[in-house]
Amino acid sequence: MAQTPPLPWSAPAQPPTTPDETSSARARVPVQRSSSRQGTLPALDTTSAPFPGLSPRDQPPSPDAVRIRRTMAEVAPVAEKVTSYFHALLFVRHPGLRPLFPASMDAQRDRLLRALLTAAEHIDNPPVLVDYLQNLGRGHRKYGTRAEHYPAVGECLIGALSKYASGSWDRETEAAWVRAYTTISQVMIDAAAADELRAPAWWFAEVVSHDLRTPDVAVVTVRPDQPYPFLAGQYTSLETPWWPRIWRHYSFASAPRSDGLLSFHVKAVPAGWVSNALVHRAHPGDVIRLGPPTGSMTVDHTTDSGLLCLGGGTGIAPIKALVEDVAEHGARRSVEVFYGARTDHGLYAIDTMLRLQQSHPWLSVRAVVDQGARLRFPEAVRAYGPWHDYDAYLSGPPGMIRSGVDTLRSFGIPSERIRHDSVEELVLAQ
Ligand SMILES: NC(=O)C1=CN([C@@H]2O[C@H](COP(=O)(O)OP(=O)(O)OC[C@H]3O[C@@H](n4cnc5c(N)ncnc54)[C@H](O)[C@@H]3O)[C@@H](O)[C@H]2O)C=CC1
């Protein structure tokens, strides 16, 4: 990792805050502005990487990382209280920020803490952290977030953490959090500023078709109001007119099309406000909003290795897009798709997949249905190997991704050749 000097606005250590609302003591998070530096972690952890031969993952944790993880461990059992208190502080101290959040905060509750946990988890791994934060910064444009909002959020976040991690909170911990938050927010602000020059904060898109495939799964096709560049295998965030400011993730179910239309496979899940609205309320003519494309589950076209693709339930959507992408590149590489469902009825896209198989001799599609099966998905895939030469793509429920990664590794596929979307994002996709 290239070391960069601390930024001029790096915060000095602050005295511990008293989180009580009656106290005037507040952590001061410096005001950030756009910097020209991209892709680096400027202020945090200048004592890290003492063993240059080791990858970031294997380095011993820096002192800041140790303090941050200690805080996270202390607040983990009371995560809900921390997020509620954080939002209460934010809305009381900065009422002007309330309209940026959904009317009901239920759906929003643990998003912030999850984002922080992810950042804290990778605090000593700048390439992973920077990539994650840049996406987060770009993604925040659609909420109307501006650079001047970040210090307010940081101050309230530190207020909430200091209250609920009081057992380990001290001057050094607070200084570590101020440094970490300053760095995190700067990377996000820079990514948003760079993105502003090349893309809108969001796209409007009109529903042009709505195809109810089962009582709870719909294929929704939309026409964006402006060109929407993306790669097969990526996903986007989507807001319906019925639940303003509640955004959910869906994968593109097709590779980019010449007519510019985008399709999504949506399953209505219990308490899934957005998914129920999309399946049961949306009609042609309705207008939704889309955030920017994101995700790295894309095909590596520099190799001709075979592709082993596992799609569970509506997780088949991006797998279909990947198949179309391979077809468009004209590469003669073998693509083996396993489509998992709990019942026959759940295989709502099997006809489409079998049609693709008919047109492409390099493609094989197999359905794996749990009901009555001897071996369940994804273990059932083992019988068709060997797979050690394949690149693997996994898409489906979080439990399937977790067990799928273990299963594929047991087939001899190295971790770096197994691609899937972040499990944290999937949990938030309902
Ligand atoms: N709609 C979309 O664009 C995308 C959706 N997803 C995710 O895919 C999921 C789809 O949900 P459903 O259609 O209800 O799928 P589901 O719950 O009916 O399961 C589909 C398949 O995954 C297997 N599976 C489920 N849990 C498992 C576990 N713990 N271990 C091993 N296998 C397991 C099932 O046996 C079945 O074969 C959702 O979590 C969604 O967030 C993922 C990518 C894209």
Between the CA of 314 and the centroid of ligand 1 the distance, in Å, is: 7
What is the distance between the alpha carbons of residues 161 and 68, in angstroms, rounded to a whole number? 10
Ligand 1 site, residue 338, Cβ cutoff 6 A: no
Give the contacts of 271 (CB within 8 A, at least 6 positions apart). Answer: 430
163 lines ligand 1 (CB under 6 A): no
263 CB under 6 A from ligand 1? no
Q: Which atom of ligand 1 is nearest to the CA of 369?
A: 37
Q: Is the CB of 265 under 6 A from ligand 1?
A: yes
Establish whether residue 429 lines the binding site of ligand 1, counting it when its CB lies within 6 angstroms of any ligand atom: yes
Q: Which tokens in the block code for residue 397?
A: 């429920």
pTM: 0.84
pLDDT grade for 31, boundaries at 50, 70 and 90: low
Distance CA 372, CA 9 (A): 63
Give the Å distance between the CA of 124 and the centre of ligand 1: 32
Q: Mind listing the pLDDT tens digit for each residue in 216-269?
A: 999 999 999 999 999 999 999 999 999 999 999 999 999 999 999 999 999 999
Task: Say yes or no: CB of residue 315 within 6 Å of ligand 1.
Answer: yes
Q: Tell whether the model's pLDDT for residue 14 goes beyond 60.
A: no
> DSSP letters along 158-226, please?
HHHHHHHTTTT--HHHHHHHHHHHHHHHHHHHHHHHHHHTTS-S-EEEEEEEEEEEETTEEEEEEEESS
Q: Which CATH architecture has domain 56-196?
A: Orthogonal Bundle (1.10)
Determine whether the shortest distance from the Cβ of 311 to ligand 1 is under 6 A.
Answer: no
- CB within 8 Å of 277: residues ≥ 6 apart: 240, 242, 243
Query: Tell me: domain 203-290, CATH 2.40.30.10, correct?
Result: yes
Tell me the DSSP string of 265-294. EEE--TT-HHHHHHHHT--TT-EEEE---B
In this prediction, residues 362-369 reach a mean pLDDT of: 95
State the first-to-last Cα distance of the chain, in angstroms, to the nearest integer: 37
Q: How far is CA 59 from CA 123, 295, 351, 380, 390, in A?
A: 11, 27, 49, 38, 30
Question: pLDDT band at residue 124, thresholds of 50, 70 and 90?
Answer: confident
Which of 2-16, 111-125, 218-232 is the least confident region?
2-16
**Backbone phi, then psi, for 77, in 5-degree steps?**
-70, -15
Q: Report d(CA 394, CA 403) in Å as an integer.
A: 10
Atom nearest to 317 CA in ligand 1? 3
Q: At what angle do helices 150-164 and 79-93 cross, to 10 degrees?
A: 140
CB of 250 sitting under 6 A from ligand 1: yes
User: Taking the CA of residue 262 as centre, how many other CA atoms within 13 Å lie in the half-sphere pointing to its CB?
Assistant: 34
Q: Indicate whether 401 pLDDT > 90.
A: yes
ipTM of model:
0.98
Are 203-290 and 307-427 the same fold in CATH? no
CATH class for domain 307-427? Answer: alpha beta
Tokens of 260: 């510019």
Give me the DSSP letters along 50-66: --TTS-GGGSPPPHHHH
pLDDT of 127 > 60? The answer is: yes
Q: Measured in angstroms, how far is the CA atom of residue 315 from the centroid of ligand 1?
A: 6
For ligand 1, what atom is nearest to the CA of residue 398? 39
pLDDT in tens, 218-227: 999 999 999 9
pLDDT at 374: 73
User: Which pLDDT band holds residue 33 (cuts at 50, 70, 90)?
Assistant: low
Q: In this predicted structure, what is the pLDDT of residue 120?
A: 72
- Tell me, what's the pLDDT at 110? 66
Section 37-46 average pLDDT: 42
Ligand 1 atom closest to Cα of residue 396: 8
pLDDT at position 2, please? 30
Pairwise CA distance, residues 262 & 204, whole Å = 12
Share of the chain above pLDDT 70, in %: 83
Provide the mean pLDDT of the chain: 85
Q: What is the pLDDT of residues 266-279, one digit of tens each?
A: 999 998 999 999 99
Contact 399 CB / ligand 1 (< 6 Å): yes
pLDDT above 80 (res 155)? yes
Using pLDDT thresholds of 50, 70 and 90, give the confidence band for residue 67.
very high
**Which of 249, 342, 379, 394 gets mutated to test ligand 1 (max ligand atoms within 8 A of its CB)?**
342
Nearest CA to ligand 1 atom 22: 312
Classify strands 391-395 and 418-420 as parallel, antiparallel or unpaired.
parallel
Query: Which of 72-76, 115-119, 144-148 is predicted least confidently?
Result: 115-119
pLDDT value of position 330:
84
Cα separation values, 91 from 31, 101, 328, Å: 19, 10, 50
Cβ–ligand 1 contact at 272 (below 6 Å):
no
Q: Of 38, 381, 16, 4, whose CA–CA distance to 188 is shortest?
A: 38
Stretch 201-210: mean pLDDT, rounded? 98
**Average pLDDT score over residue span 331-352:** 93
pLDDT value at residue 244: 93
Instruction: Answer yes or no: is the C-beta of 317 below 6 A from any ligand 1 atom.
Output: yes
Whether 377 is in the pocket of ligand 1, judged by its Cβ within 6 Å, is: yes
Domain ranges of the chain: 56-196, 203-290, 307-427
Q: Residue 104: pLDDT band by 50, 70, 90 thresholds?
A: confident
Q: What is the H or E stretch that residue 311 is in?
A: strand 307-312
Could you give the percent of the chain with pLDDT greater than 90? Answer: 70
